[in-house]
C-alpha cells in the first residue's frame, strides 16, 4: 500500500522537541499503510488551522448485548476524510496494575492492525486500554478476537466503569491490601453491571494501596478504596539512625515538623510517634522508606462520591467506612456496593452521580437507608446550623 502520507505542516511543529510526539505516532501508523491514520492526520491538521474539532456525537454503536465499552464517533467531513467517517473506540478492560507481556501485547496489536487504525491509547483516563478508531462493521470481529485472546470490553455510559488500581503488593511496600486482587475480583463479580448500563449515571471504583493514592481515587471515583492501617507505624530505629547519620534528610525539619498531626518527636537518635494522633497521611513513611512502614493490622478506608464538575460541581469522596478489612472475597464491600446501587438506582435522577444524590437527600438519610451507623469519622465536624429534621416516633 503506497498511499502517500499527508502533508501536515502545522502538526509537524509538534514532532519537534524532546517529548515523544503523538503526531509521530499517528504518522507511524499512516506510514504502515493505515488509511484511517492518514485521514486522521488530515482532519487534525484541519482542526489545527480552524481551531475546532470535527467529531460528532456517537449514536448507537456497540457490540451485541453490551451497552458499554464502545464509544461511537463519526467525522463531520466524511467526503473529504472517508477513512475516518466512522472512528469508533473500543475500551478494553486492562489487566490489574497495567501489567503485560510482550507476547500478549503483540497479539493485541495483531488484532488492531487487522481491523483498526493501528492507533491506541495506553491508557484511557479511566484505565482501559483504548483501541482508537475503527468502522462499525469491525466492532464484532475485534470483540470476537479479543475474547478469544482472553480480553473483554470495559465500561462506558451509565454503568459500572472499568475499575482500576495501583500496582499494590506487586511492587509497593506500602500497599495495605492487595489492590490488584480486589480490583480483579470486583470487576469479575460485577460483569453484568459493567457491560449493561442500568444506573442513573456512571459509577467508578478505584483501588489505592495507601494514602499516596497513585490512582487519584479520592478525586476520580464514586467508590475509593484507600489502604490504611489500625495499629502503630512500624519503626526500625537502627534505620532511623542510619538516615540521621547519612545526612540526606533533616529528620527534625522535614519529617517531624511536617507531620500534620504533630505527633512525632526526634531526639537526634530515636524517633517516637504518638500513634493515637497519627492521621495515616504517609508523609513520614514516604520520607523514610527504609525506617518506617505502615502498621501490621491493615485494611482500607472506603470513601464515596467523588466526581468531576458536571453537573452540580466537583466533589471529593468522603468517608463511609473508616476501616474495612480487605480480604477476599470482599463480601462487605460487595454488600455495601449493592446497597448503594439499590438506593441510588431507585431514587437517583438521570445523570446524577452518587455523590450528588447523597448531597440531595442528605448523608444521614443515605446512611440510614443503606443500614450504616453514622460515626464521627464521617464528618469534619458536626453541623453548625440548627435546622434539624427531627423525626419523632408516634408515642413521643
Partner 1 sequence: MAERKTDIGPPHYEQFLPPVIKKNYGKWKYHEIVRPGVLMHVAESGDKLFSVRAATPRLASTKTLRMFADIAEEYCGGHLRWTSRNNVEFLTDNESNVEPLVERLNKEGYPVGGTGPGITNIVHTQGWVHCHSAASDASGVVKSVMDEMFPYYNGEKKLPAKLRIAFACCLNMCGAVHCSDIAILGVHRKPPDVKHDIMKAQCEIPSTVAACPTGAIRPATVDGKQSVEVIEEQCMFCANCFSVCPAMPLNRPDTDGISIWVGGKVSQARSEPKFSKLAVPYIPNEPPRWPTVVNTVKKIVETYAANARPWERMGEWIDRIGWPRFFKLTGLPFTKYHIDDFTHAGETFQRSLHFKRA
Partner 2 sequence: MSASVEDVANAMYEMVKEYHGKKNLKALDLTKAMIQKFGEDQVDKKLCKQAIRQLIDSGKCTYSYVGGSYIVLPPES
Q: Give the residues lining the site for partner 2 (CB under 8 A).
A: 57-60, 62, 64-68, 72, 156-159, 192, 196-201, 342, 345-346, 350-351
The contacts of residue 173 (CB under 8 Å, 6+ apart) are: 289, 293
Q: Min. distance of Cβ 378 from partner 1 in angstroms?
A: 15
CA distance 190 to 68: 13
The cell for 310 is: 458536571
280 lines the binding site for ligand SF4 (CB under 6 A): yes
Q: Are 355 and 345 in contact (CB under 8 A)?
A: no
CA distance 181 to 207: 10
The region of 69-77, 213-221, 256-264, 365-373 touching ligand SF4 under the rule CB under 6 A is 256-264
Which of partner 1, ligand SF4, partner 2, none is residue 86 near (CB under 5 to 8 Å by kind)? none
Which of partner 1, ligand SF4, partner 2, none is residue 175 near (CB under 5 to 8 Å by kind)? partner 1
Which of partner 2, ligand SF4, partner 1, none is residue 273 near (CB under 5 to 8 Å by kind)? ligand SF4
Helix (H) or strand (E) segment spanning residue 364: helix 363-370
Which of partner 1, partner 2, ligand SF4, none is residue 296 near (CB under 5 to 8 Å by kind)? none
Q: Min. distance of Cβ 269 from partner 1 in angstroms?
A: 20
Which of partner 2, partner 1, ligand SF4, none is residue 264 near (CB under 5 to 8 Å by kind)? ligand SF4
**From residue 166, how far is each of 32, 71, 183, 213 by CA, in Å?**
34, 25, 9, 8
DSSP-based three-state secondary structure for 177: coil
**Positive or negative torsion for Cα 35, 40, 45, 47:** positive
263 lines the binding site for ligand SF4 (CB under 6 A): yes
Closer to ligand SF4 at the Cβ: 194 or 278?
A: 278
Q: Which of 95, 295, 322, 345 binds partner 1 (CB under 8 A)?
A: 95
Q: Min. distance of Cβ 76 from ligand SF4 in angstroms?
A: 20
Q: Min. distance of Cβ 213 from partner 1 in angstroms?
A: 5
Peptide bond into 294 cis (omega under 30): no
The cell for 362 is: 442528605
The cell for 74 is: 463519526
Strand partners of residue 227: 300
**From residue 146, how far is each of 90, 100, 154 by CA, in Å?**
11, 15, 12
Q: Min. distance of Cβ 41 from partner 1 in angstroms?
A: 10
The region of 262-270, 313-321, 331-339, 371-379 touching partner 1 under the rule CB under 8 A is 313-321
Window 23-42: residues binding partner 1 (CB under 8 A): 23-26, 28-29, 32, 37, 40
Q: Are 222 and 162 in contact (CB under 8 A)?
A: no
Q: Which of 61, 77, 281, 361 binds ligand SF4 (CB under 6 A)?
A: 281
The region of 116-124, 137-145, 280-288, 350-358 touching ligand SF4 under the rule CB under 6 A is 280-288
The contacts of residue 327 (CB under 8 Å, 6+ apart) are: none
Q: Min. distance of Cβ 263 from ligand SF4 in angstroms?
A: 5
Backbone dihedral angles phi then psi of residue 347, each to the nearest 5 degrees: -115, -5
261 lines the binding site for ligand SF4 (CB under 6 A): yes
CA distance 30 to 7: 11
Window 114-173: residues binding partner 1 (CB under 8 A): 118-123, 125, 127, 132-133, 144, 147-148, 150-152, 164, 166-167, 169-173
Q: Are 11 and 42 in contact (CB under 8 A)?
A: no
Amino acid at each position: 500500500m503506497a498511499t502517500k502520507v499527508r502533508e501536515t505542516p502545522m502538526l509537524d511543529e509538534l514532532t519537534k522537541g524532546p517529548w515523544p510526539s503523538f503526531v509521530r505516532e499517528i504518522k507511524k501508523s499512516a506510514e504502515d499503510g493505515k488509511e484511517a491514520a492518514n485521514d486522521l492526520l488530515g482532519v487534525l491538521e484541519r482542526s489545527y488551522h480552524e481551531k475546532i474539532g470535527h467529531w460528532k456525537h456517537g449514536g448507537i454503536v456497540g457490540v451485541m448485548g453490551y451497552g458499554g465499552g464502545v464509544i461511537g464517533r463519526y467525522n463531520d467531513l466524511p467526503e473529504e476524510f472517508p477513512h475516518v467517517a466512522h472512528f469508533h473506540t473500543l475500551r478494553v478492560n486492562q489487566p490489574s496494575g497495567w501489567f503485560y507481556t510482550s507476547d500478549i501485547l503483540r497479539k493485541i496489536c495483531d488484532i488492531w492492525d487487522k481491523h483498526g487504525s493501528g492507533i491506541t491509547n495506553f491508557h484511557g483516563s479511566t484505565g482501559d486500554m483504548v483501541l482508537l478508531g475503527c468502522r462499525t462493521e469491525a466492532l464484532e470481529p475485534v470483540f470476537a478476537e479479543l475474547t478469544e485472546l482472553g480480553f473483554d470490553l470495559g465500561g462506558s455510559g451509565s454503568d459500572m466503569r472499568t475499575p482500576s488500581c495501583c500496582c499494590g503488593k506487586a511492587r509497593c511496600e506500602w500497599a495495605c491490601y492487595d489492590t490488584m486482587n480486589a480490583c480483579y475480583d470486583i470487576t469479575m463479580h460485577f460483569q453484568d453491571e459493567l457491560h449493561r448500563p442500568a444506573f442513573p449515571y456512571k459509577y467508578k471504583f478505584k483501588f489505592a494501596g495507601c494514602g499516596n493514592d497513585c490512582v487519584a481515587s479520592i478525586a476520580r471515583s464514586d467508590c475509593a478504596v484507600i489502604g490504611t492501617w489500625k495499629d502503630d507505624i512500624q519503626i526500625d530505629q537502627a534505620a532511623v539512625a542510619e538516615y540521621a547519620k547519612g545526612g540526606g534528610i533533616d529528620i527534625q525539619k522535614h519529617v517531624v515538623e511536617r507531620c500534620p498531626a504533630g505527633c512525632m518527636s526526634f531526639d537526634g537518635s530515636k524517633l517516637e510517634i504518638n500513634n493515637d494522633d497519627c492521621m495515616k497521611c504517609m508523609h513520614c513513611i514516604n520520607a523514610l522508606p527504609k525506617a518506617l512502614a505502615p502498621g501490621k493490622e491493615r485494611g482500607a478506608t472506603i470513601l464515596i462520591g467523588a466526581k468531576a464538575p458536571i453537573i452540580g460541581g466537583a466533589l471529593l469522596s468522603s468517608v463511609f467506612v473508616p476501616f474495612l478489612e480487605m480480604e477476599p472475597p470482599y463480601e462487605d464491600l460487595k454488600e455495601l456496593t449493592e446497597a448503594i446501587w439499590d438506593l441510588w438506582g431507585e431514587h437517583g435522577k438521570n445523570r446524577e452521580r452518587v455523590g450528588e444524590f447523597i448531597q440531595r437527600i442528605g448523608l444521614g438519610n443515605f446512611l440510614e437507608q443503606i443500614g450504616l451507623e453514622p460515626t464521627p469519622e464521617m464528618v469534619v465536624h458536626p453541623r453548625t446550623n440548627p435546622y434539624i429534621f427531627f423525626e419523632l416516633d408516634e408515642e413521643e
